[in-house]
Structures are given as C-alpha cells and as structure tokens.
C-alpha cells in the first residue's frame, strides 16, 4: 500500500521558533539582559568544532551572546569541572552546553552533573532527566524536544498511538520515550539487542529512529500510514532511516538534513532564552 507522504519540514518549524524568540530577546535586551549560551569544547574534534560554530552563529543571528570556551585535549576532569563551576556562578551566562564527546580520559558524566540545573539547557543532567520523566522538566534534551515540536507543529496526534523508539541513549532514546509516554502514547523502546526488531517496528504508528546507523530502518519495516521521525545524522547527510524506501509508505516523514536537526538547534536557543527570562524574574 502506497501513501502520499507529507514531508515534515524541520527548517520551517525552526524558523517559526526563532521568529517568536526574536520578540522575547528584544524584551530582555530592553531590560539590559542579553541571553547568553556558553559552549565548552574540549579537544579538537572537527565535527564538534563544526557543531559549536553552528550554534554560535545561530545565537548571533538572533541577537544572543555566544560565549565559547575552548579547552585543550589535555584538560583534566578537575580543570573542566572548575570551568563549569565558574560558568554556573556567572550571572551573565544563562545556559551551559558541554559539547559531546569529550576526550576519553575525562569523566563526562561528572562534567555533565556539574552543570547547574537552571543552566542545563541541553538536558544532560540526571536531575533534568528525572524532571523530564516526571513531566515537569524545564529543559528536556533538545533533540527529543525537537521531535515533539515537529509533531505538534504539524498537529500529528500522539494520544493512544503506538510509538516505537529505536535507541536508548540518555539524551535521545530514553527521554523521547518518556516524553511520548507523558503525552499518552504507548511506547516500545528498542535497541541493538532487540529480537525481532523489524516485526516490532511494523506495529508502530510513530517510529523514532535514533540508533546512529545510516539507513538502518528499512522501508518494509514501516506500517503504511505510520509517521517516521529520523533523529539520526551520519556522514554524507544520511539519516538512520532509508528515506527513499520509507517515502510513500509513511504518512509523514522527516528528511535528513532539514528535519529534526534545525529544530534541535532552535530548541537549544529557546531553552537559553527561557533560562534568561527565569533568571530575570528571580532578580526582580
């Protein structure tokens, strides 16, 4: 059975989010406050360098401040923790992003946990995860939040739907599963050790691909009319879904690029503006 697939244009959703942010940033600027995202980059990973630059450019285009902290690959866990604590104490910094991955000798989890909850705009702390799970997290992980933002922008229903999430990372697969559950979807979480994965995916009304393998999800896995959210990004601008094979079976699908990615960055900016507004309210 073939369907006419709706392309879920993440770029347009991201543009709408940013347009709304411009007004909020202007109001903060009138109060003498510039929303500031501090990005910490350890080492010289080229992909991380690109991501940090993209986020910095996105901030500047909206009139936000981007504070970049570049640290050498020889940085110790203690040195990194000290920098994060300085940023926690800096009232001009509203959000802190530690670019993943850090060099192997650094305790990444300890570094994430050092980020103050009110500045955890990327949703990487265990406290932030727990608050998201309970349904009151202020800043859920940005890619899961982006996935829900796209579904909401296109008014795709979640309640009562069977969502299959492929992937269980602490900043994508797990939080998006809980966020969907909190929206009254029935959620199945799958991963690399799941037996009969294709048969499980075939039951899904909504498929979230977050496994980190190019073109992993095959066209014949998709139930006709299902919604496919591809959260993967692999070399060559390839997602985790075989897009061409799934196009025509899915009722709606995100492309790669210009799908979930742009909304993830817009969500990070939104969380930073949210944090700046909350900091402003506390200061009154």
Residues taking part in catalysis = 55, 99, 122
| Residue 238 DSSP symbol | B
212-237 in b/e form (b: 16+ CB < 10 A) is bebbbbebebbbeebbbbbbbbeeee
The alpha helices in 2-141, defined as continuous H runs, are 10-30, 46-62, 77-89, 108-113, 126-133
Give the residue from 150, 139, 179 showing the smallest Cα distance to 163.
179
Sequence-distant (6+) residues with CB within 8 A of 241 are: 207, 209, 215, 216, 217, 228, 230, 232, 253, 256
Residue at token pair 């309640």: 159
Q: Is 28 strand, coil or helix?
A: helix
What dihedral angle (degrees, nearest 10) is formed by the CA atoms of 250, 251, 257, 263? -130
Residues 40/82, Cβ–Cβ less than 8 Å? no
How many angstroms separate the CA atoms of 182 and 258, rounded? 27
Residues 58/264, Cβ–Cβ less than 8 Å? no
Sequence-distant (6+) residues with CB within 8 A of 281 are: none
Distance (Å) of CA 181 to CA 92, 146, 164, 252: 36, 16, 11, 20
| Structure token pair of residue 170 | 């602490």
Residues pairing with 38 in the sheet:
67, 96
């Amino acid at each position: 059975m073939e369907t006419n697939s709706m392309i879920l244009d993440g770029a347009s959703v991201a543009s709408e989010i940013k347009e709304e942010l411009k007004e909020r940033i202007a109001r903060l600027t009138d109060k003498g406050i510039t929303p500031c995202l501090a990005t910490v980059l350890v080492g010289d990973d080229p992909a991380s360098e690109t991501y940090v630059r993209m986020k910095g450019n996105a901030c500047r285009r909206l009139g936000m401040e981007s504070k970049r902290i570049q640290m050498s690959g020889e940085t110790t866990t203690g040195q990194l923790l000290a920098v994060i604590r300085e940023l926690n104490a800096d009232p001009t910094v509203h959000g802190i992003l530690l670019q993943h991955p850090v060099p192997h000798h650094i305790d990444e989890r300890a570094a994430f946990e050092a980020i103050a909850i009110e500045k955890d705009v990327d949703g990487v702390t265990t406290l932030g995860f727990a608050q998201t799970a309970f349904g009151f997290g202020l800043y859920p992980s940005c890619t899961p939040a982006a996935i829900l933002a796209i579904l909401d922008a296109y008014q795709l229903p979640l309640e009562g739907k069977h969502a299959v999430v492929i992937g269980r990372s602490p900043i994508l697969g797990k939080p998006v599963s809980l966020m969907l559950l909190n929206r009254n979807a029935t959620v199945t979480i799958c991963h690399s050790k799941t037996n009969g994965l294709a048969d499980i995916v075939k039951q899904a009304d909504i498929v979230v691909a977050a496994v980190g393998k190019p073109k992993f999800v095959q066209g014949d896995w998709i139930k006709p009319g299902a919604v496919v959210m591809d959260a993967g990004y692999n070399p060559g601008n390839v997602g985790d879904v075989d897009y061409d094979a799934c196009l025509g079976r899915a009722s709606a699908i995100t492309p790669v690029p210009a799908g979930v990615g742009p909304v993830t960055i817009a969500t990070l900016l939104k969380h930073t503006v949210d944090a700046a507004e909350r900091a402003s309210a506390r200061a009154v």
